[in-house]
Structure 1
Amino acid sequence: MDQRLIKTLNNETIIWKYLDLSKFLDLLISRKMFLSRSDKFEDQYEGTFSEPTFEEIKELLKNKPDYLSNYKAQRKNIVISSWHANAHESFAMWQIFTKNNEGLAIQSTIGKLQNSVEYQDRAIDLQIGEVNYIDYKKEYIPFTDKYFPYLYKRKSFQYENEVRLIGDATQLNKSVNDGLKIDIDPNHLIERLYIHPRSLNWYKNLVQTIVLRLGYSFEIAKSDLESDILL
């Protein structure tokens, strides 16, 4: 784990991924995690430069006129899995990333995420980094490391408190399309699984049955958002 990409987090930092049942089942059955191609995110600022950085790049172009075209080509090989860093479950994340009172939240840690991809094909360079939220008109984005531009976002996304598993698939020498899957060990990755707090009992029972039949033994915890009210 490159310490230049991680400043305030450590192996015990709790991270979350909120997802729907189909994506969760795909992870369990295939034992693979999907990483999205960096230029396929909805946010058009992904992987771009702030205004102060671009001013410096314009000077760089005088000696390296192909820099921007090469950078845009590389973006097609940078792949990302996004996680939410938080000591606690997030009501906002349930609202944003799940629908119809259905969905799941994987609780893990930085260390577990690192260990779960430890035996991944090392043709893909994988790192874990935390996202910095800045003013793109005023603040500088360093570009001395190929991953730095993908670890900055606008301040309006600060609620995401995002941690990224980020990789470079260039050496695979194949088209990445929308993204790619990497080998993952769900037993090493998942510390606890939370089921949507407003889901119906049949949905909760379905998830529990599937996890059991697939042979996984990680804890399925009760959401704090459905705790009994004490008066």
Structure 2
Amino acid sequence: MFENSSNINLTEDNETIVWKYLDLSKFLDMLLSKKLFMSRSDKFEDQYEGTFSEPTYEEIKKIAINNPEFLDYYKSHREKVVISSWHANEYESFAMWQIFTKNNEGIAIQSTTGRLKEALQPETKFKQYIGEVNYIDYKKEHIPFEDMFFPFLFKRKSFQYEHEIRIISDVSEQNLKLRDGLKIDVDIEKLIKKIYIHPKSENWYKNLVIEMVHRLGYTIEIEKSDLESDILI
């Protein structure tokens, strides 16, 4: 649970627009459970997730010569850190639709960094850190390690297209054994500013999403995708 807003570290602009692209089943699970799924950091496709760049690793190895448990802790710690990834962009991203949805079906949630902060406030058991990912050269650049969250706010430059802002939780103190991740309580109405439906989806699919959201009692605005706009000649 948050003691105050200082427990959350945000980018300076709380109006930064962020997106999450997901399939209908995950979206429905979020609406029904009123929880946000956070994936275990070592379960991401990027195997470097939560690890260190080469210069930092060499520095840590020197420290660990007389304290081998120091290095072992960093390796095992990835299993205790969970992440929810969001794409920072003023507009919809055609690339994100392609990467995170299939068969011309899916949902894009539009939010802001300020809304993420507000949505996480109620009765959260785990401290949250919200930060912007830095993209660096892992062969040359250094990753600071004085804060346990820092390794999870750096990725390789090849992932720069993600423009990622992420929510990070460390559940080490809770002694939890996580399989794939965990779900945390969120205020859905505060979390979601707008819902966008896949631009290439059929009308029946669009109607299904609209009816589902309304039947569950949500008043969230549902927008037509900007990528679906009619061509003007």
Task: Assess same fold via TM > 0.5.
Answer: yes
Percent identity of the aligned residues? 64
- CA contact under 8 A between 1:120 and 1:182: conserved in structure 2? no
State yes or no: 1:209 paired with 2:211: yes
- 2:83 corresponds, among 72, 80, 84, to 80
Residue in structure 1 matched with residue 160 of structure 2 by the alignment: 158
- TM-score between the two structures when normalised by the length of structure 1: 0.95
Residue in structure 1 matched with residue 195 of structure 2 by the alignment: 193
Aligned equivalents of 1:2, 1:60: Cα separation in 2: 31
Aligned equivalents of 1:33, 1:3: Cα separation in 2: 19
State yes or no: 1:105 paired with 2:104: no
- 1:65 corresponds, among 53, 65, 68, to 68
- CA contact under 8 A between 2:7 and 2:129: conserved in structure 1? no
- 2:57 corresponds, among 40, 46, 54, to 54
Q: Secondary structure at the match of 1:26?
A: helix
How far is the alpha carbon of 1:65 from its aligned partner?
Answer: 1.9
How far is the alpha carbon of 1:173 from its aligned partner?
Answer: 1.8
Calculate the aligned-residue CA RMSD, in Å. 1.5
Change (3 A) 1:79 1:178: same
Aligned equivalents of 2:115, 2:8: Cα separation in 1: 19
Q: Secondary structure at the match of 1:111?
A: helix
State yes or no: 1:119 paired with 2:126: no
Residue in structure 1 matched with residue 43 of structure 2 by the alignment: 40
* 2:165 partner amino acid: V
> What's the CA shift string for 1:161-203, capped at 9, x where partnerless?
0010000111222211110000011101000000000000000
- Where in structure 2 are there 5+ consecutive unaligned residues? none
Q: Secondary structure at the match of 1:27?
A: helix
4+ runs deviating over 4 angstroms = 1-7
Q: Secondary structure at the match of 1:66?
A: helix
- CA contact under 8 A between 2:80 and 2:171: conserved in structure 1? yes
- 2:183 corresponds, among 168, 181, 191, to 181
Change (3 A) 1:5 1:62: farther
* 1:48 partner amino acid: T
How far is the alpha carbon of 1:5 from its aligned partner?
Answer: 5.6
- Where in structure 1 are there 5+ consecutive unaligned residues? none
Aligned equivalents of 1:106, 1:132: Cα separation in 2: 23
- CA contact under 8 A between 1:5 and 1:130: conserved in structure 2? no
Aligned equivalents of 2:136, 2:94: Cα separation in 1: 24
State yes or no: 1:11 paired with 2:41: no
- CA contact under 8 A between 2:87 and 2:164: conserved in structure 1? yes
- CA contact under 8 A between 1:2 and 1:127: conserved in structure 2? no
- TM-score between the two structures when normalised by the length of structure 2: 0.94
Change (3 A) 1:82 1:222: same
